[in-house]
């Protein structure tokens, strides 16, 4: 048999799902145990005006490649 079978891809998907679940659980547990708030994806503390302009550009533009 040439190539990989469907069992390989199902096993790989299952392993990746388990790893992601463990990472998510660990992060959530540590945040709760240490009483730490989750940090925001975008902060509003800019070093200079250029950082603010770049963040504003990314948030207003549609960066979709499906056109």
The residue that leads in pLDDT, 32 or 6, is 32
Q: What mean pLDDT is predicted for residues 41-62?
A: 74
> Predicted confidence band at 21 (pLDDT cuts at 50, 70, 90)?
very high
How many alpha carbons fall within 13 Å on the CB side of residue 41? 3
Does 47 map to a domain? yes
For 12-50, b where at least 16 C-beta lie within 10 A, e where not — what string? eeeeeeeeeeeeeeeeeeeeeeeeeeeeeeeeeeeeeee
Q: What is the mean pLDDT of the chain?
A: 80
How many alpha carbons fall within 13 Å on the CB side of residue 8? 4
31 CB-near residues (< 8 Å, 6+ apart)? 37, 38
Residue span of the structural domain in which 25 resides: 6-60
Does 67 map to a domain? no
Does 1 map to a domain? no
Residue 17: what pLDDT? 97
Residue 34: what pLDDT? 93
> How many domains would you assign to the chain?
1
């Amino acid at each position: 048999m040439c190539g990989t079978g469907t069992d390989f891809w199902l096993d790989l998907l299952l392993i990746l799902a388990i790893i992601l679940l463990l990472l998510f659980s660990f992060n959530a547990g540590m945040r709760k145990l240490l009483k730490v708030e989750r940090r925001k994806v975008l902060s509003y503390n800019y070093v200079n005006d250029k950082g603010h302009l770049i963040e504003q550009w990314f948030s207003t533009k549609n960066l979709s490649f499906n056109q």
